[in-house]
Amino acid sequence: MSTEEYRKEQQFIHELYARLDHLREEARTAVRAALGDNGTGFQARLERDVLVAEQSGLLAAFDAGENGLCFGRLEFRDGRDHHIGRIGIREDDEERTPLVVDWRAEVARPFYLATGHEPMGLRRRRHISTKGREVTALHDEILDLNDTTRTGHEGHDADEVLLAALGAARTGRMNDIVRTIQAEQDRIIRAPHHGVLVVEGGPGTGKTAVALHRAAYLLYAHREQLARRAVLIVGPNPAFLGYIGEVLPSLGETGVLLATPGELFPGVHATGTETPEAAEIKGRATMADVLARVLRDRQTVPPTHAPLEIDHDGYGTLLLDRDMAEDARWDARSTGLPHNLARPRFAFRVIDALTDQLAERLGADPFGGPNLLDRSDITQMRKEIAASSRVHAAIDELWPVLTPQALVSAFLAEPDGYLPDGEAEFVRREGGPWTEADVPLLDEAAELLGHDDTAERAAAERERRERIAYAQGVLDVAYASRTYEFEDVESEVLGAHDIIDAERFAERQEEADHRSAAERAAADRTWAFGHVIVDEAQELSAMAWRLLMRRIPTRSMTLVGDPAQTGDAASCGSWREILGPYVGDRFDHVRLGVNYRTPAEIMEVAAAVRRAEDPDFRPPRSVRSTGVPPWERVTDDLPGEVAAAVRRERPAEGRLAVIAPAPHHPALTAALPDAAHGPDPDLTRPVVLLEPRQAKGLEFDTVIVADPDAIRSGGPHGVNDLYVALTRATQRLGVVRVTG
């Protein structure tokens, strides 16, 4: 390629990367200078930390956007032209002239939306392909048919760039689609971020990519708001999060929290497995009422004929009977506060009742006169009772301080009486790791219990007063050290104590929290996010939705999914069933109907599986055909046949996945020693072994589905699981059945 147009673009790319290198070195120099600063004052430390954080963020964006930094150019009929790229970079002049415009900027929209029918002011749209810092190809689209100028790079097929990207070998990591965003995708990406947007689409329609680019766009368009509150992206499993993990950094965004549903309760990482029956039971919305009943049963009172006996030193035995405890319990419950926050009210009422009992005993007039104790005597008795460890032990027995883990564990150990007949055995468990289905229960328990931070606030106040006392000592020393020359005259020299008091001085010494919003959000169960994106949203249970809705009180959400791919027994069903309890029918619903991943030959086989149960099923339309039909083998040696197929089908470039039911994995792991496998497999390996649920949202060049009949019969939504498995391939599909 030696044309003048190519030479000009290559020169521009070199200039652009030179500017990028200069900006990168400026950021590194600033970081080195800040870290080498010996300033020890609070303000100096704060300025250093802020500078390091800002420049480190720039470095991360520069490094992430390095590959394919510029991928397009817009030439307008009015003479303007703009290069389009992953991140915006400006020249070092007074006007800060853009060298390359961020793809999210409004001026970049014609790159994705302009057509010959609606050119949006363009005369030409250019796609620039690069490898490293070298231009490898140009592809021009003429949008103004009256313009007769030609460059020699005009393409015969407007979809040439898209099809080339779709046919490229997979790497085990999702690539961004910033070069190939289609018009229907762009409209979803840039939709207003208020309210709930449901994006539905079949396999290969780009739902996940659209959701991730929407996150990047929202962070660009609403930077100040979302940088403070952060964006949460929820994915179905660790393998999926690893697969999509490089997309947002490649677009210059690193401040997003990615998590699975099992990671949304701080301090708990769900690693246990669950039976489908137990997951379905735990996912029901009625579990909220079950846990409330479990909690109320922990708010006990003594039996009618067996009051609690409390030995009170020097005064004999106090009796805490049922009536006293019921009065205290009613009073505590009437506050409407969560259990742990209502406990002080219960304790106060018990202490008051025991104080009245003791006062009546000690102050009774033997001749029936008034009580012989005065107010100060009763106040002193109340203090003594309130300080009694035996009294507090009795209160703990009737109204204990509980953690979410303790409450849920108590239910799982003894579920009888809380579930319909025959279901208790499915969820009964003592000990063991938490499961993903447990996490919403823990979150519900946390809401019911509340967190009494009285002791923490008291400790923080003590620490604050200690800092103030220390600061006062420093100021006193500073005052005492003033030179003797001013001892007998009124000094005009201001000292530290003249311009700041001890409290403000102490505040300046406090260490600021320099964690990112995403880092702080990950550690705070009560954090309210600015926007939440849920991928494979159709899989979540009713209890999981209760958890998520607590994280987003503004209901600013993007939900991505496909009911035809639902596999979880605890899933809610339709979007209306999912969202009705929270927003009614006030949500927008859009559907992506074009399949960019799956060739038509493979999609025909997958669609036939769904049509066997639903004759009216209509799959998304595939945009390409490879001419390679899927193959099928029948065998009585599944591991051997699959291993032979892997050797035969393994692509020279790209990735191959074997998707099989869990019972086959031990034998297949032995037959495929080089394959990545396990709960969080390395998807960048050439061959990976997955269960059908693990394959959700992923794509591979070649897929071999092992024992499809077992997948189909493996659960209540087995047909959907098989549909998912059959639609993961971008090039070739093979099916290995088992005889008999």
Non-local (6+) Cβ contacts of 526 within 8 A are 550
**The pLDDT value given to residue 38:** 61
Residue 506 in this model has a pLDDT that exceeds 80: no
Residue 515: pLDDT band by 50, 70, 90 thresholds? confident
Inform me whether the pLDDT recorded for 529 exceeds 80. yes
Return the residue matching tokens 């592809």.
139
Beta pairing class for 557-561 and 531-534: parallel
Most confident region among 152-161, 179-188, 720-729 by mean pLDDT: 720-729
> Residue 730 carries which side chain, given as an amino acid letter?
T
From 223-232, 468-477, 617-626, 701-710, the region with the lowest mean pLDDT? 468-477
Contacts of 544 (CB under 8 A, 6+ apart): 261, 283, 439, 440, 570
Instruction: Check residue 533 and give its pLDDT.
Output: 94
What is the per-residue pLDDT for 501?
62
List the structure tokens of 638: 């599944």
Percent of all residues in the chain with a pLDDT value above 90, rounded to a whole number = 50
pLDDT at res. 364: 62
- Please tell me whether residue 469 adopts helix, strand or coil conformation: helix
The pLDDT score that the predictor gives to residue 491 is 47
Residue 723 in contact with residue 610, Cβ under 8 Å?
yes
Beta-bridged to residue 199, according to DSSP, are 560, 590
Question: pLDDT tens, 95-147?
Answer: 788 899 999 999 999 998 887 778 889 988 888 888 888 998 888 888 876 76
CB of 662 within 8 A of CB of 694? no
pLDDT in tens, 719-729: 999 999 999 99
The answer, yes or no, to whether residue 477 has pLDDT greater than 80, is: no
- Confidence category of residue 608, pLDDT binned at 50, 70, 90: very high
Kindly report the number of other CB atoms within 10 A of residue 526's CB atom. Answer: 11
| pLDDT for 361 | 83
Helices (H) then strands (E): counts for the chain? 29, 21
CB distance 579 to 226 below 8 Å: no
Q: Which helix (H) or strand (E) holds 327?
A: helix 322-334
Q: Is 322 a residue whose pLDDT tops 80?
A: yes
Mean of pLDDT values over 466-493: 56
pLDDT tens readout for residues 215-272? 989 988 888 888 888 999 999 988 889 889 888 887 878 778 999 999 999 999 899 9
Question: What mean pLDDT do residues 317-343 have?
Answer: 96
When pLDDT is cut at 50, 70 and 90, the band that residue 614 belongs to is confident
Q: Could you tell me which residue, 545 or 314, shows the higher pLDDT?
A: 545
Amino acid at 127: H
AA letter at 54: E
585 confidence band (pLDDT: 50, 70, 90): very high
CA atoms of 108 and 105, how far apart (whole Å): 5
- The pLDDT-based confidence of 48 (bands split at 50, 70, 90) is low
Split at pLDDT 50, 70, 90, the class of 498 is very low
Percent of the chain with pLDDT over 70: 85
Query: For 454-460, what is the mean pLDDT?
Result: 65
Lowest mean pLDDT among 21-25, 684-688, 708-712: 21-25
Three-state SS for 339?
helix
Helix or strand or coil: residue 580? Answer: helix
Residue 534, strand partner residues:
234, 559
pLDDT exceeds cutoff 50 at 489: no
Is pLDDT of 450 > 60? yes
| pLDDT reading at 540 higher than 50 | yes
* pTM of the model as a whole: 0.82
pLDDT at site 95: 77
pLDDT at 486 over 50: no
Tokens 């106090």 found at? 318
pLDDT, tens only, 17-38: 998 888 888 888 888 887 776 6
- Mean model confidence pLDDT for the chain: 86
pLDDT tens-digit readout, 543-571: 999 999 999 999 999 999 988 888 777 77
Output the pLDDT for position 295: 97
Residue 283 has pLDDT above 90, yes or no: yes
CB 27, CB 58: distance < 8 Å: yes
| pLDDT band for position 3 (cuts 50, 70, 90) | confident
**Burial class of residue 387 (count of CB atoms within 10 Å of its CB; 0-12, 13-18, 19+):** exposed
